[in-house]
Structure 1
Amino acid sequence: MKHKVNEIDIAHYRSLALQHQKEHRQVLAKLKKKPPKNLDKMALEIHDSVFSRIDCLTCANCCKTLGPDLKEADIERISKFLRMKPAAFEATYLRVDEDGDKVLQTMPCPFLGADNYCSIYEVRPKACREFPHTDRKKIYQINHLTIQNTVYCPAAYEFVEALKYRLK
């Protein structure tokens, strides 16, 4: 039996993220200049804490609005899972964007179900597995991406907010 999800208010989080973008940039810029010795441990603790409270299945905004950059390994793995030839998978689901990256032809993701479950979850693209990248070591190396992700992902926003308070 499929369960109904209570969706997160994406518009509210987007608004908050945009309002706090300047402040978040400053917090992350300070990290880049002088990262605390325990930053990786602190970031992982915050990441785990945020994801203990936020269930991606109640949101899935990334799957609805952000298309992953699919690498050859992703294409091979997913097409095998779908029992398709890689060329047929590409023709059916992918296009080349302005940067030359292979991305989904349509959004929301064609593999996202109405219940926010991913039909290819076990073999999903690396970009999907790693999103929103808040458990990454040396988080300050991707400040631009972290700021961008706060606009789309409530967990990324909560992560930066928690990081801000931990650093005070």
Structure 2
Amino acid sequence: MDLENYRNQALLKQKEHKKFLDQLKRKPPKNLDYTVQETHDEVFEKIDCLSCANCCKTTGPLFTEKDIERISKHLKMKAADFEHKFLRTDEDQDKVLQHLPCWFLNSDNTCSIYKVRPKACCEFPHTDRKKIYQINHLTIKNTVICPAAFEFVERMKKNIRQ
């Protein structure tokens, strides 16, 4: 997978993607949630996250208190020890990874804590959520990181002829 090519295309098309997504927000078409889910499914039939894992290599998720409790329990650690070893508090007071790539990313792009991974990881790249127009800024940001998010917006433009 040519990540650099995807990234460059996403950067070149940011204004076009923003305009399209803003149109969805101003005037959501009927059955938007259905079209979003259908488009998401189409994209993930073709794109395999394990061939990429760019999200795990370049951006870290936010860790909620529930995430920290669940993961630390899984690792048989105290939550405070887990936080001290793996996390830091960022400028927005969110708990995030101290370092990238993610500590839990294996060499084959699998996740060593997949079954208990953070909620943000489960939901990334957020292309299957209802009322997708509520996260337009995040979708645009994700197109630069995630080939699937880029393909999602490109296909949505075709699937919704506005």
For Structure 1 versus Structure 2, the TM-score category normalised by the shorter chain is: over 0.9
Structure 2 equivalent of residue 4 of structure 1: none
Counterpart selection for 1:87 from 54, 77, 80: 80
User: 1:9: how far off?
Assistant: 1.1
**Displacement, 1:167?**
1.6
Task: Report runs of 4+ in structure 1 exceeding 2 Å deviation.
Answer: none
Give distance in 2, aligned partners of 1:166 and 1:103.
35
Question: What secondary structure, in the 3-state scheme, does the structure 1 residue paired with 2:96 have?
Answer: strand
Q: Which residue of 1 aligns with 2:49?
A: 56
Q: Distance in 2 between matches of 1:123 and 1:57?
A: 17
Residue 166 of structure 1: how far off its partner (Å)? 1.3
Query: Amino acid of the residue matched to residue 10 of structure 2?
Result: A
- The residue number in structure 1 matching 2:28 is 35
TM-score, structure 2 as length reference:
0.98
Residue-pair matches, total:
161
Q: Flag structure 1 segments of 5+ consecutive residues without an equivalent.
A: 1-7
Relative to the length of structure 1, the TM-score reads: 0.95
Alignment partner of 2:88: what SS?
Answer: strand
The equivalent of 1:108 in structure 2 is 101
Q: Aligned residue for 1:14?
A: 7
Q: Deviations over 1:41-60 (max 9, x none)?
A: 00000000000000000000
Q: Is the partner of 1:95 in helix, strand or coil?
A: strand
Supply the distance in 1 between the matched residues of 2:138 and 2:57 (Cα, whole angstroms): 18
Aligned amino acid, residue 150 of structure 2: Y
Alpha-carbon deviations, 1:18-48, whole Å to 9, x = none?
A: 0111100010000000001100000000000
Partner Cα distance (1:108, 1:67) in 2: 8
Question: Deviation of residue 84 (structure 1)?
Answer: 0.3
The CA distance in 2 between the partners of 1:9 and 1:129, in whole Å, is 24
Identity %: 66
Q: Classify the secondary structure of the residue corresponding to 1:103.
A: strand
Question: Could you list the runs of 5+ residues in structure 2 that have no partner in the other structure?
Answer: none
Counterpart of 1:144 in structure 2 is 137
RMSD: 0.5
Q: CA deviation at 1:121?
A: 0.1
* Match of residue 67, structure 2, among 65, 74, 78: 74
Letter paired with 1:147 = I
Does residue 162 in structure 1 map to residue 155 in structure 2?
A: yes
